[in-house]
Amino acid sequence: MAEHGQAPGTGQPKGRPDKAADRRAEAAQAAPPPGSRAGGDAARRAEPGRPRDHATGSRGPAAGEGGEHPETLRPRPERYLVAPTGWASPTTGPTDPAADAQHLIEALQRNPDLRVLRVIRSAEQPPATGGGAVPVYRPGTRFPAVAVVEATPEQAAILAARPEFHVDIDHPLTQDEPLPPWAYVPGTGSLDDAVPIRFQVRDDHGEPLPDAVVYVHGGRYPVVARTDADGTAELTVPAGSLDGIRGVYVRPRADCWGTVIERPHLSGTESNTVVCRRLDTPAGERHGDGWARRALGFDRLPPTYRGHGVRIAVIGSGVDAARLDAAEGIMGGIDVIGQDEKSWDQDVIGRSTHHVALILGHDGDQLVGLAPEAEVHVCRVLPGGRLSDLIEALDYCIAQEVDVIDLGTYASGAAGLVAYKLEEARQAGILCVAAAGDTGGPVMFPGTVPAVLTVGAIGKLGTSPPDSLHISQLSGMPTPDGYAAARFSGAGPEVDLCAPGVGIVSAVAPEGRAALDGTGIAATHVAALAALVLAHHPDFRYGFGMRGPARVQRLAQLIIASCRPLQGGDPYRCGAGRPDAPVAVGLVPRWTTTSGPETTMPVAGVGPAGQSPSAYGYPMAPMPPQVDALTAAVRAAGFLVPEPDE
């Protein structure tokens, strides 16, 4: 595998000057004179013996230093992104990033109440022409140096009031795990007394399941425990609250379906046994050929459509490359959290390994990848990452010239600097596929940015056991063929389309397979489809072969135009519907809706609610069905026929 900062297969640097060693040297060089508060903090951050606290960005005490009188617990300061305002000012021309960075550091170091944790310097490369982000992207500008600062909200407000600074909150990144939809009910019992509850978790073959999560909801509060090597777990609830418990959810680590028990009859004296069904595959059906593959039409593509040469970046929790046995497809990565160029091949959460396995596949689990010949880069920003880490990950993707970004993580708040970086990626010819969020509320950031393609999640009836978590995640009236929107999926006019994201089986770290839910999984399906369209649609071998925003626009339009609307589905959760792979790659005619004598394409973002189109939902020209069918037939034969509207 090529190391971070090198072009795959060449060993040559590829446009990323801000390595970890450079950042450490920069921090030491930028430290103020000894004796000042900021200078002492900067010097301590440069010491190698202090592990980084990802919650605050500070370092713990060095070995043998103090410790006799530990500090008491106190409110933590917030983290902010601070940049000079010249980069976004409509009255100034292109600025010098190096000079701006030096002025920014000097100005912040003069304030003793601020702590500069680090400075993010993006790779210097001239952006392409175009615009359309918030803040407005102007030709000739370069992304500014960004300081990650610790301060109180009052200090940040004073800083933001100064005209020379642009300030954003450095929100934490997350990738929520959907839980059963149990409503809160005031519990019984007293917090002054508690009783233990023991669980025994095993599979339907009688084998104990170690490292399974047991989640009990109800009573005074929800409690969580994890099973030991014997499959047993013990947790404590308030005395007298057993009758108030609403449900028990058990999530095995791998190889079994999760189990939900509504209104359980729990014993406080004996062990409560929970049986989880194994992920056994029916005879004649491989794991990779499940309902999600059929829902998007991947099973109807020719076997030669494998996404060869397209680069996909997966931004999440890293990847266990040894687990997938697919090192030839994983070309490199970066661990932004650990500021390490090699530890991206570790996945403590396991979810991003699940996503990469969906793209590349894994023969040991009979998992057939959706784009098995794509080149995957991995950016680790979880757990503990923030929007500042996302900026660094996006900068890596731009430097490595990836084609598609699978962005399955999100934040609760927006940041103009991140929106600007996403627009810079679009100008560089990168399609960013973002998850709508797993909170069940409004679409999460950066899914609200016009420069990204936002994906909601859907599920299908009959694809998981009736006592599993996944059945409870479906919302609304299902379509005649069983599809329904996911209850946890973010909703809003920003949702462009939807894809399978409920009960999706794939490989996880360190071993086995798991059925997971999330809009991040839906985004992975769309990112893999985008790779196939780039690799095999004739438009990207001829008219849209050059990198740039026009290529991104065309790619997103082809995917959205292939979507089948969900009958009766909520357009705020499903967007234009679920895409169809053979239509998107140009093998079969587009799905059309008849309106009078002509057949017109559906417009993304315009549904029964009448919301306005998204950034990628512009109407396409009317097309007679006979011409459309003839065009697709000739394209399938390997010849290029211009679109009727070209």
DSSP-derived pairing of the beta strands 78-84 and 146-151: antiparallel
Cα dist from 428 to 403, 421, 496, 571, whole Å: 9, 10, 21, 30
Q: Model confidence at 69, in pLDDT bands (50, 70, 90)?
A: low
- In the 3-class helix/strand/coil scheme, how is 144-166 assigned residue by residue? CCEEEEEECHHHHHHHHCCCCEE
Which run of H or of E encompasses 127? none
Half-sphere exposure of 367 (CA within 13 A, CB side): 29
Q: Domain residues of the chain, as ranges?
A: 20-46+76-169, 190-276, 287-561
pLDDT of residue 405: 98
pLDDT of residue 363: 58
- Residues facing 616 on adjacent strands: none
Residues 6+ positions from 57 with CB-CB distance below 8 Å: 79, 117, 118, 148, 150
Cα dist from 393 to 98, 105, 337, whole Å: 20, 22, 10
**131-140, 271-280, 380-389: least confidently modelled range:** 131-140
The CA angle 184-185-191, to the nearest 5 degrees, is 100
Cα Rg of the chain (Å, integer): 26
pLDDT of residue 72: 85
Is the model's pLDDT at 500 over the cut of 90? yes
Torsion-angle region of 556 (φ positive above 0: left; ψ -120 to 50: alpha; else: beta): alpha
Give burial (CB, 10 Å; 0-12/13-18/19+) of 55: exposed
Per-residue pLDDT tens over the stretch 537-580: 999 988 898 999 999 999 999 999 999 999 888 899 999 999 99
From CA 252, how far away is CA 271, in angstroms rounded? 18
The CA angle 358-372-643, to the nearest 5 degrees, is 105
Which run of H or of E encompasses 530? helix 519-536
Residues 6+ positions from 16 with CB-CB distance below 8 Å: 4, 5, 123, 395, 396, 399
Cα dist from 206 to 201, 203, 231, 239, 274, whole Å: 9, 5, 11, 31, 11
Per-residue pLDDT tens over the stretch 204-248: 999 999 999 999 998 777 899 999 999 999 999 888 888 888 899
- Most confident option among 9-13, 112-116, 183-187, 249-253: 249-253
Here the tokens at position 434 are 């973002």
What are the φ/ψ torsions at residue 117 (nearest 5 degrees)?
-75, -40
Cβ atoms of 87 and 142 within 8 Å: the answer is: yes
Cβ atoms of 405 and 527 within 8 Å: the answer is: yes
What are the φ/ψ torsions at residue 214 (nearest 5 degrees)?
-110, 120
pLDDT of residue 76: 83
Q: Model confidence at 391, in pLDDT bands (50, 70, 90)?
A: very high
The identity of residue 488, as a single letter, is: F
Superfamily of domain 287-561: Peptidase S8/S53 domain (3.40.50.200)
The domain 190-276 is placed in CATH, from the list 3.40.50.740, 3.30.70.2190, 2.60.40.10, 2.120.10.30, at 2.60.40.10
**First CA to last CA across the chain, in angstroms?**
42
Percent of the chain residues topping a pLDDT of 70: 72
pLDDT of residue 215: 96
DSSP-derived pairing of the beta strands 483-486 and 497-500: unpaired
- Residues facing 169 on adjacent strands: 80
Which run of H or of E encompasses 599? strand 598-600
For the chain, what's the residue count? 646
From CA 319, how far away is CA 314, in angstroms rounded? 9
Q: What is the DSSP string of 398-455?
A: HHTT-SEEEE--BBSS--HHHHHHHHHHHHTT-EEEEE--SSSSBPPBTTTSTTEEEE
Average pLDDT over residues 336-356: 87
pLDDT of residue 95: 56
Average pLDDT over residues 17-27: 43
Per-residue pLDDT tens over the stretch 285-323: 444 448 999 999 999 999 999 999 999 999 999 998 778
Per-residue pLDDT tens over the stretch 597-612: 333 333 333 333 333 3
From CA 414, how far away is CA 310, in angstroms rounded? 30
Percent of the chain residues topping a pLDDT of 90: 52
Q: What is the DSSP string of 263-301?
A: S----SSSPEEEEE-B-PPPTT--GGGSHHHHHTTGGGS
Q: Is 391 helix (H, G, I), strand (E, B) or coil?
A: helix
Cβ atoms of 497 and 458 within 8 Å: the answer is: no
From CA 10, how far away is CA 191, in angstroms rounded? 63
Q: Model confidence at 327, in pLDDT bands (50, 70, 90)?
A: low
Q: Model confidence at 634, in pLDDT bands (50, 70, 90)?
A: very low
From CA 23, how far away is CA 339, in angstroms rounded? 9
Here the tokens at position 75 are 């409110």
Which residue carries 């060095």 as its tokens? 62
From CA 178, how far away is CA 440, in angstroms rounded? 9
Per-residue pLDDT tens over the stretch 442-495: 999 999 999 999 999 999 999 999 999 998 999 988 999 999 999 999 999 999
Cα dist from 261 to 64, 181, 350, 489, 505, whole Å: 50, 12, 25, 23, 22
DSSP-derived pairing of the beta strands 452-460 and 431-435: parallel
Q: Is 508 helix (H, G, I), strand (E, B) or coil?
A: coil
Is the model's pLDDT at 144 over the cut of 70? yes
Directed axis angle between helix 37-46 and helix 20-29, to 10°?
150
From CA 206, how far away is CA 273, in angstroms rounded? 11
Average pLDDT over residues 380-384: 93
Average pLDDT over residues 409-423: 95
Cβ atoms of 413 and 347 within 8 Å: the answer is: no
Cα dist from 411 to 434, 445, 508, 585, whole Å: 12, 5, 24, 32
